[in-house]
Structure 1
Amino acid sequence: MTSMSRSAALVAVSVAGLVLSAPIVHADNVTATVPVGAGPTEVAVAPDGSRVYVTDYFDAAVTVVDTATGTVTATVPVGGYPTDVAIGPDGSRAYVTNSDDGTVSVLDTAAGTVVATVPVGAGPEGVAVTPDGARAFVSNYDGGTVSVIDTRTDAVTATVPVGRLPSEVAITPDGTRVYVAEQGSNAVAVIDVATATVVGSVPVGDGPFGVAITPDGTRAYVTAWDSDAVSVVALPVNAVVATVPVGDRPFGTAVSPDGTRAYVTNYASDTVSVLGTAVDAVVGTVVVGDSPSAVVITPDGTRAYVSNYDGDSVSVVAIEP
């Protein structure tokens, strides 16, 4: 995956039609499947857990799902080929990367409308908002940079050169560091938020794409698409302390609010691997829809929402206590 964009890689694997043996049965299970738009790529949840936002890649839109009813309540047009979405800490704004347009759409979540469009770099891929809501960091997959957006003015204030094909972005809970998976460099770039400069690089598995950080800020989980594994990075020392084999073509990842589990979407296995963070091993596997790409967990830790790229749906997974 190191030489392909997100969409090209997803299509290539879909055509390949790879199949694995039956997964391990786990207590976490799918309780509902919500139809959304075409090519759902990423998911984000509102801070109060009331809504889930899904980027529909081929529809140039964001689908809004009510988590109480499991139904679609709105579809918001955005830019071309939206790839990622992040919600600000107060829930009033959503930031959507439009890979075809080189822009970020800023959504007013109450009104369900785009209130600003911010030009960034080439092929924007991932986005994350700092805990204080002051800045959004956007990886530019085709540009090899990260754009820093001032959320008060909706303008780019800095552009940070990073490695090849930067993909997903995660920010530490204290808001001091940004971790960017560099798919073409087999590494994770570490950016200092205060200075908007790269202060470190962590070698990880082949084709890193997704990255998530534990709530206590001591671990980062990085999916390695070409290694069929997850690299576990100790923070802040920035060293890999474990490599966990998962399913075929791991893509997205999220950590539970209590920090005990990491969830990893296996794109070519149609499964989600559940990792126990205390043991850094797979403790369960959940069968979901076709070509799962991303996962997000509700703030109360009771449900996971998984976007199924080829299924045009979102799987709702009940998480056991």
Structure 2
Amino acid sequence: MNRGAVLSFALCALAATGARAQARIEYVTSFGGTETRQFSLGGAHAVAVSPDGRHVYVASFDDNAVVVLLRDRALGTLEFTEAHVDRTAGVQGVFRPVSVVVSPDGNHVYVGAFFGDAVAVFSRDSDSGRLSFIEALFGGTFGYRGLTQVHGLAVAPDGSQVFVASYGNNALTVLRRDPGSGRLTPEQLWLDENEGGSVSGLVRPTAVAASPDGRHVFVTSGGSSSLVHFRRDPHTGELAPGETFFDGGSPALALEGAIAVSVSPDGRDVYALAMNGVTHFRIGEDAALTFADVLAGPAVIGAGEAAGPTDITVVPQGSAVVLTRGGDDTVVLLERMPRTGSLRFVQSISTDEEEFVTLAGAAAVAVEPSGRWVYVALQFGDGVAVLRRWPSCAADCNEDGSVTVDELVTAVNALLSDRPQPGCWQADRDGDNRITVDEVVFGVRMALFGCVEAANEPSL
């Protein structure tokens, strides 16, 4: 259908009635569970999705394993492929793992072992998703300093380095990555000042993240209740300490027991998850990091310390943030304002036996590249939960807060062809992989009257 025909369709749709779309997240199913321990998903503690969206990788704390799952890209469901268990078939460095990441090129998987004091390196077959063990770098008494009790991992966007949050050494360790073999070589060690280093705020670091342009690295630390900013030379990979923010102060930051950090895809916003809220920071044009605002309250972080916030991530499209709470088995959806980067609460889902919703010990969250499917590692559920996400603006394929004629053309063409349209799943409001007339009309109304985000967000 051409653009003129779509405009005519839009005028006809003016007569249609109906409420605006509402962003939401929906529990679909779980893979694994305490009754299916043959999948080696006991104490699932971390989850990652490959860049091509074909596979999911899980770090299983209780089973000392990294598990490979095949993902159905249309339905979001998971299927077991294989598991690599510590001290089995030559595999090392996977004793009590708590983190897993996939390199940007999709060729390697890295696993961080907390009690194993190690980073394990695997090569990845892009077709099958299967892994082959390459090596493990160890910390501890006889190993490298800066690899004791590995708690968080991140890979530089250009794939040249792996960043390690060393809980036991109060350190951020930088490992040089060989892009061909995936092997790692210790390169930089940044210690907290209490360890004789030059950086404050690295007591018990919990997570690490890099900005999309590779110019910034951020570390949350639970022991010092802080967020530490490093500037990074994108050419050499050399780090330099930037700002450090601590819990409290004026204005009051929410960084108590800071546990996780995520950076928006546009590289403008940083979100630190802590026991008392989500603190939002902005990266300025001068590369400085500044405080923006805090989102807190029981709906976001739960009631009391027992709620236990565990992880946070920005969806690839940048329009939403998802966080997990392991203490009260909850997943929270937040909308992100496209201009300000501020967050607002939308919805939460918790374990509900009557509704067959299982989110026991929600420990970590990952979102596949299209942004539609959300995966949650269940530490006490011994598996992975699958959730489906909808944006608040129907047919907004780019999730930028507005619907264009070209996006409507995509939706109408999917309607006429009566086939799934993975290129704009945002128009599929009921999740059946088909586009209906009502769904196209919904998208037309968004285009004519404006999206919810655009209508409600204040101008700067």
TM-score tier after normalising by the smaller chain length: 0.7 to 0.9
Q: For residues 139-184 of structure 1, what are the alpha-carbon distances to aligned partners after superposition, in whole Å with 9 as ceiling and x for unaligned?
A: 1001101111111141111111141000111100001111000111
Equivalent pair of 1:289/1:313 in contact (CA under 8 Å): no
Work out the percentage of aligned pairs sharing the same amino acid. Answer: 26
Matched AA of 1:42: A
Separation (CA, whole Å) in 1 of partners of 2:214 and 2:81: 32
Aligned residue in 1 for 2:371: 301
Separation (CA, whole Å) in 2 of partners of 1:65 and 1:57: 16
TM-score normalized by structure 2? Answer: 0.62
How many residues in Structure 1 have an aligned counterpart in Structure 2?
295
- The answer to whether 1:40 aligns with 2:90 is no
Aligned residue in 1 for 2:324: 265
Which consecutive residues of structure 1, in runs of 5 or more, have no partner in the other structure?
Answer: 1-24
- The answer to whether 1:157 aligns with 2:187 is yes
Aligned residue in 2 for 1:88: 103
Equivalent pair of 2:45/2:379 in contact (CA under 8 Å): yes
Which one scores higher on RCO, CA 8 angstroms, separation ≥ 6? 1
- The answer to whether 1:241 aligns with 2:284 is no
Equivalent pair of 2:24/2:346 in contact (CA under 8 Å): no
Flag the structure with larger Rg.
2
Q: Which has the higher strand share?
A: 1
Aligned residue in 2 for 1:20: none
Separation (CA, whole Å) in 2 of partners of 1:240 and 1:55: 33
Matched AA of 1:298: E
Offset at 1:26? 7.2
Higher mean C-alpha displacement, 89-98 vs 188-197? 188-197
Offset at 1:59? 1.0
Separation (CA, whole Å) in 1 of partners of 2:231 and 2:113: 25
TM-score normalized by structure 1? Answer: 0.88
- The answer to whether 1:66 aligns with 2:70 is yes
- The answer to whether 1:137 aligns with 2:153 is no
Offset at 1:197? 3.2
Separation (CA, whole Å) in 2 of partners of 1:200 and 1:187: 10
Offset at 1:269? 1.9
Aligned residue in 2 for 1:10: none
Give the alignment partner of residue 199 of structure 1, picking from 242, 258, 274. Answer: 242
Matched AA of 2:240: T
Q: For residues 263-301 of structure 1, what are the alpha-carbon distances to aligned partners after superposition, in whole Å with 9 as ceiling and x for unaligned?
A: 010112211111111151211112351010100000011
Offset at 1:240? 2.6
Equivalent pair of 1:181/1:210 in contact (CA under 8 Å): yes
Matched AA of 1:200: E
Q: For residues 195-230 of structure 1, what are the alpha-carbon distances to aligned partners after superposition, in whole Å with 9 as ceiling and x for unaligned?
A: 2332221224200011111001111111112x2x21
Separation (CA, whole Å) in 2 of partners of 1:108 and 1:280: 37
Separation (CA, whole Å) in 1 of partners of 2:242 and 2:60: 34
Q: Which has the higher helix share?
A: 2
Separation (CA, whole Å) in 2 of partners of 1:233 and 1:303: 26
Offset at 1:101? 2.2
The DSSP-based 3-state class of the residue aligned with 1:126 is strand
Matched AA of 1:119: F
Matched AA of 1:281: R
- The answer to whether 1:208 aligns with 2:258 is yes
Separation (CA, whole Å) in 1 of partners of 2:121 and 2:101: 10
Separation (CA, whole Å) in 2 of partners of 1:249 and 1:98: 21
Matched AA of 2:62: F
Higher mean C-alpha displacement, 189-198 vs 262-271? 189-198
